[in-house]
Amino acid sequence: MTQAVAVRPALTRHDEIAWRRGQAASTSRLVAEETAVALSYNGSTHAVMMATPADLEDFGVGFTLTEGIVRHAEDIESVELIPDDLGLEVRIWLSGDRAAALTARRRALSGPVGCGLCGIESLEQARRPAPLVTSRMTFGAEDLLAAMQSLAPLQTMNLKTKSMHAAAFWQPSSGIGPVREDVGRHNALDKLAGAIVGSGLPAAEGAVLLTSRVSVEMVQKVAMIGAPIIIAVSAPTTLAIRTAEEAGITLLAIAREDGFGVFTHPHRVIWPADALQRAS
């Protein structure tokens, strides 16, 4: 499905003068690469994202799914990575029906130059309804907290750079895996979506772990993945909470060592007995 090509490294080493505790020293450190990645469909560029050049096949597949360009991975015929002096192109080829539907969508979104979001159609697209997640899975509160706490050591690129977001998939039966990282939180989640599809994992039976805040787009993407739970280290926005409620997603946020907050659909979280006694 994917043509393998050599791409630029995801991390590069740079010289640094480190000033710590009043002392200066010459050293070097690994820094996350950030490059322009164009996503094209059947020969036409659809979007250009600034991203880390790693797991780009997952990125292409995941973006295509979470943005609703296709509903099923089978509609993606191939993914090619094309290096360029200015960045990289993720060239995606869709089946005939999906390619025609995307062309029609582009025509519907066309508008005059300088129109911002290009009118009503673009505003509707920005606030598109998320699919309803109907999974009946339940998860132990302590297990979810332990999963979130175990994510940091698995962020291999962030351990070296201290500058990257991660999105991971966790199942009670098998733990965390896969983990995807990127300088952009949306990109990390798209890469995770592609990895879940590529690995054939049951999205409805696990939770998505995020090292970022939760905005509406993140909830929309998780709904497209079909995972019933989001747990994140940072806070959600009001629109993210509203969207998670509408989509049937259990939204956990502000995850710290001592716990987290549950903002929507708490029925999926199983609390320890003593926690319920204290709450009552």
Catalytic residue among 18, 47, 50, 115: 115
- Token duo for residue 18: 């480190």
The total of other beta-carbon atoms located within 10 Å of residue 73's CB is 17
Residue 115 annotated among the catalytic residues of the structure: yes
Helix-then-strand count for the chain, H and E: 9, 15
Both tokens of 247, joined, read 């989509």
Decide: helix, strand or coil at residue 60: helix
CB proximity list for 88: less than 8 A, separation 6 or greater = 7, 8, 35, 36, 37, 38, 53, 56, 81, 82
3-class SS at 109? helix
CB within 8 A of 196, min separation 6: which ones? 62, 169, 178, 203, 225
Q: Which of 2, 77, 73, 87 is nearest to 36 (CA)?
A: 87
Q: How many CB atoms lie within 10 A of CB 139?
A: 22
Distance, CA of 268 to CA of 144 (rounded, Å): 11
Q: What are the residue numbers of the active site?
A: 115
